[in-house]
Structure 1
Amino acid sequence: MDDLRSRLITGFTWRSDPPVWPATRTYYADYSAWWRDSAVLAQIGPALAGLFRDMQPTVVLGTESHGFLLGPLVALHLGVGFAAVRKEPERGSHDEVWLVRRTPPDYRDRHLDLAVRRSVLRSGDRVLFVDEWAATGGQALACRQLVEDAGARWTGAAVVVDALESSADRRALGLRGLLHVRDLNRR
């Protein structure tokens, strides 16, 4: 785990857009180097799964896009399936049943519609949500509602970086992270 933490921190950079005004600068997280590092890819699924080893999930849930990468890595380690949550979904046919929820405002102050096919979330499932970053928790909160809509049980949220501002949301989501945002000091 120490090797993974070190690689995650080393492979992370705060980037900034050019300032609009001299005192205005917008910072954003760049973790693209994580996906290039084969050791990170090999270790991150087991590490995220390990945050919830005691919960015995039956399915892993992840949102596009990074949840689609991390979710299967975690599911593979746990020996369970993966359920994909689409953002702003378009139905491929009219015979598909989708569960849909709208997020509270995200870090860009957007509301998104999140949807999962009803056939991949089953009543009685124990669902582990996986993503790379939690800032407002909006997507995880909407996914928790999708899980409840399906009659499944939310076991928690495993993220690479916990940047959640609300302790109440952290508790409600059962959120656990490999890193906290304070571990990624601005350089």
Structure 2
Amino acid sequence: MTGWWRDAELLAQLGPALAGLFSDVSPTVIAGPQSRGSLLGPLVAIHLGVGFVELLKNHPSAADSDAWWQVTTPPDYRDRHLRLGARRALLSSGERVLFVDDWVATGAQVEAAHALVELSGATWLGAAVVVDGAERAHIRRKVNLRSLLHIREL
């Protein structure tokens, strides 16, 4: 998948295409997990004219003095539980959040991101991803998952 980033034409189309999955809503901020969500999320944010919040994995809270929203993921595709977090100053009530990432497999990170947004008091609009490989069907409904491709199409 990282080869997709090398194709300038494809890369230029990803932001508008992912934003187009949610043309029926108006986000005020895009959120994406490090690392590929941090690549794709800003492309969507630029297209929509809104800001971006990076959701960091296993960020050591002792590393800075800012207050953080943090949640723990269910087991991910590597059977790990990760801490997903964002600075509280960057995500607050009144925000309308669209989550962006490259791929959903177990749904652990998108599920945790959804919980983090709810914890912050912001409104979760949905998850725009390149590939839907969700192993648990209920995750699609729970997080309002929309994708450009389904894993069966690859």
**Same topology, TM > 0.5:** yes
* Cα separation, 2, equivalents of 1:135 and 1:176: 13
Q: Identity across aligned pairs (percent)?
A: 58
Match of 1:153 among 107, 123, 128: 123
Normalising by structure 1, report the TM-score. 0.80
Equivalent in the alignment of 1:128: 98
Equivalent in the alignment of 1:17: none
Equivalent in the alignment of 1:93: 64
Tell me the secondary structure at the aligned position of residue 154 of structure 1. Answer: strand
* Cα separation, 2, equivalents of 1:42 and 1:55: 22
Please tell me the residue identity of whatever aligns with 2:49. Answer: G
Equivalent in the alignment of 1:84: 54
How far residue 161 of structure 1 moved from its aligned partner, in angstroms, is: 0.2
Bigger relative contact order, structure 1 or 2 (CA pairs below 8 A, ≥6 apart): 2
Equivalent in the alignment of 1:62: 32
* Cα separation, 2, equivalents of 1:33 and 1:86: 23
How far residue 93 of structure 1 moved from its aligned partner, in angstroms, is: 2.2
How far residue 90 of structure 1 moved from its aligned partner, in angstroms, is: 2.1
How far residue 108 of structure 1 moved from its aligned partner, in angstroms, is: 1.0
* Cα separation, 1, equivalents of 2:106 and 2:35: 17
Normalising by structure 2, report the TM-score. 0.97
Match of 1:108 among 65, 74, 78: 78
Tell me the secondary structure at the aligned position of residue 62 of structure 1. Answer: strand
* Cα separation, 1, equivalents of 2:76 and 2:25: 28
Equivalent in the alignment of 1:183: 153
How far residue 165 of structure 1 moved from its aligned partner, in angstroms, is: 1.5
How far residue 149 of structure 1 moved from its aligned partner, in angstroms, is: 0.8
How far residue 53 of structure 1 moved from its aligned partner, in angstroms, is: 1.2
Please tell me the residue identity of whatever aligns with 1:76. Answer: I
Please tell me the residue identity of whatever aligns with 2:43. Answer: L
* Cα separation, 2, equivalents of 1:53 and 1:125: 17
Structure 1 stretches of 4+ moved >6 Å: none
How far residue 61 of structure 1 moved from its aligned partner, in angstroms, is: 0.3
Corresponding position: 1:163 with 2:145: no
* Cα separation, 1, equivalents of 2:112 and 2:135: 17
Structure 1 unaligned regions, length at least 5: 1-30
Tell me the secondary structure at the aligned position of residue 30 of structure 2. Answer: strand
How far residue 167 of structure 1 moved from its aligned partner, in angstroms, is: 1.5
Tell me the secondary structure at the aligned position of residue 142 of structure 2. Answer: helix
* Cα separation, 1, equivalents of 2:138 and 2:37: 23
* Cα separation, 2, equivalents of 1:166 and 1:110: 17
